[in-house]
Copies of this chain bind each other. A is one copy, B any other.
Amino acid sequence: MGKGLMVQKFGGSSLANVERIQNVAKRIVSYKKKGYDLVVVVSALGDTTDELIKLANRINPEPSEREMDMLLSTGEQVSVALLAMAIHKLGYEAISFTGIQVGIITDSSHTRARIIKINTDKIKQELNNDKIVIVAGFQGVTFNQDITTLGRGGSDLTAVALAKELNAKECEIYTDVEGIYTTDPRIEPKARKLEAITYDEMLEMASLGAQVMQARSIEVAKKFNVPIHVRSSFSKKSGTMILREVKKMEDVVVSGVTVNKSEAKITVCNVPDRPGIAARIFKELAVHGISVDMIVQNVSHLRQTDISFTVDKIILPKVIKLTKQIAKDIKAGDVLQDEDIARVSIVGVGMKSHPGVAAKMFEALAENRINIEMISTSDISISCIIRKRFAELATRAIHKKFALAK
Contacts and interface: CB of A to CB of B under 8 A. Distances in A.
A371 interface: no
A88 B67 contact: yes
A70 B97 CA distance: 9
A2 B337 CA distance: 57
A70 B81 contact: yes
A22 B59 contact: yes
Interface size grouping (class) on chain A: 35 or more
Interface in A137-152: 145-147
Nearest to A64: B88
B70 A80 contact: yes
Contact of A81 (B71, B82, B88): B71
A342 interface: no
Given A52-B78, A70-B77, A71-B82, A59 B89 contact: yes
Nearest to A82: B59
Contact of A101 (B52, B68, B122, B145): B145
Interface string A99-123: 0110000000000000000000010
Nearest to A89: B60
Interface in A75-98: 77-78, 80-82, 84-86, 88-89, 95-96, 98
Contacts of A58: 18
A140 to B, nearest CB: 14
Interface in A21-46: 21-22
A36 B29 CA distance: 54
Contacts of A101: 100, 145-147
Given A18-B58, A88-B60, A96 B70 contact: yes
A71 B98 CA distance: 11
Given A22-B59, A59-B89, A60-B86, A74 B70 contact: no
22 contacts: A18-B58, A18-B59, A55-B82, A59-B89, A60-B88, A63-B85, A64-B84, A66-B95, A67-B82, A67-B84, A68-B81, A70-B81, A70-B84, A70-B96, A70-B98, A73-B77, A74-B77, A77-B77, A98-B147, A100-B101, A101-B147, A122-B145
Interface of A: 18, 21-22, 52, 55-56, 58-60, 63-64, 66-68, 70-71, 73-74, 77-78, 80-82, 84-86, 88-89, 95-96, 98, 100-101, 122, 145-147
